[in-house]
Amino acid sequence: MKDHKSLTSRLLTREQAEIYLNIPTQTLYKKVNRREIPYVKHNQNLYFDKDLLDQWIKEKTKMPMY
Protein backbone atom coordinates (compact mmCIF):
# COMPACT_ATOMS: atom_id res chain seq x y z
CA MET A 1 0.00 0.00 0.00
CA LYS A 2 2.91 2.33 0.68
CA ASP A 3 4.07 2.05 -2.96
CA HIS A 4 0.58 2.93 -4.23
CA LYS A 5 0.48 6.06 -2.09
CA SER A 6 3.96 7.02 -3.24
CA LEU A 7 2.96 6.61 -6.89
CA THR A 8 -0.26 8.59 -6.59
CA SER A 9 1.55 11.42 -4.83
CA ARG A 10 3.97 11.61 -7.78
CA LEU A 11 1.26 11.63 -10.46
CA LEU A 12 0.03 14.99 -11.66
CA THR A 13 -3.23 15.62 -13.49
CA ARG A 14 -3.14 17.44 -16.82
CA GLU A 15 -3.99 20.70 -15.09
CA GLN A 16 -1.30 20.22 -12.45
CA ALA A 17 1.27 19.37 -15.14
CA GLU A 18 0.42 22.56 -17.02
CA ILE A 19 1.04 24.59 -13.89
CA TYR A 20 4.19 22.63 -12.97
CA LEU A 21 5.66 23.09 -16.46
CA ASN A 22 4.20 26.57 -16.94
CA ILE A 23 2.82 25.72 -20.39
CA PRO A 24 -0.66 26.14 -21.90
CA THR A 25 -3.06 23.25 -22.45
CA GLN A 26 -2.58 23.28 -26.22
CA THR A 27 1.21 22.94 -25.90
CA LEU A 28 0.91 20.04 -23.46
CA TYR A 29 -1.53 18.22 -25.77
CA LYS A 30 0.83 18.75 -28.74
CA LYS A 31 3.71 17.25 -26.78
CA VAL A 32 1.56 14.29 -25.76
CA ASN A 33 0.33 13.70 -29.32
CA ARG A 34 3.91 13.85 -30.62
CA ARG A 35 5.07 11.61 -27.76
CA GLU A 36 7.60 14.24 -26.75
CA ILE A 37 6.74 14.14 -23.06
CA PRO A 38 6.28 11.19 -20.68
CA TYR A 39 2.67 10.52 -19.68
CA VAL A 40 0.25 7.84 -18.53
CA LYS A 41 -3.25 7.46 -19.91
CA HIS A 42 -5.80 5.82 -17.60
CA ASN A 43 -9.57 5.80 -18.19
CA GLN A 44 -9.12 8.45 -20.91
CA ASN A 45 -7.37 10.77 -18.45
CA LEU A 46 -3.78 11.94 -18.73
CA TYR A 47 -1.39 11.76 -15.80
CA PHE A 48 2.22 12.85 -15.56
CA ASP A 49 4.82 11.37 -13.23
CA LYS A 50 6.59 14.29 -11.56
CA ASP A 51 9.90 12.40 -11.37
CA LEU A 52 9.77 11.63 -15.10
CA LEU A 53 8.89 15.24 -15.89
CA ASP A 54 11.90 16.39 -13.87
CA GLN A 55 14.10 13.97 -15.80
CA TRP A 56 12.59 15.13 -19.11
CA ILE A 57 13.34 18.76 -18.18
CA LYS A 58 16.95 17.86 -17.34
CA GLU A 59 17.35 16.07 -20.69
CA LYS A 60 15.95 19.07 -22.58
CA THR A 61 18.04 21.65 -20.73
CA LYS A 62 20.70 23.30 -22.88
CA MET A 63 23.84 24.24 -21.03
CA PRO A 64 25.80 27.34 -22.08
CA MET A 65 29.15 26.84 -23.77
CA TYR A 66 32.15 28.54 -22.17
Q: Residue 65: inside a domain, yes or no?
A: no
For the sheet containing 40-42, what is the strand order? 11-13, 45-49, 40-42
Q: Residue 52's domain is classified under what CATH number? A: 1.10.10
Give Cα 56 distance to the centre of its chain. 8
21: left (phi over 0), alpha (psi -120 to 50) or beta: alpha
The total number of structural domains in the chain stands at 1
Q: Residue 23: inside a domain, yes or no?
A: yes
Q: Residue 66: inside a domain, yes or no?
A: no
Q: Residue 37: inside a domain, yes or no?
A: yes
What is the residue-level pLDDT of the chain in tens, covering all 66 positions? Answer: 455 556 667 899 999 999 999 999 999 999 999 999 999 999 999 999 999 999 999 998 888 887
Residue 36, domain extent: 2-60
- The structure's pTM equals 0.80
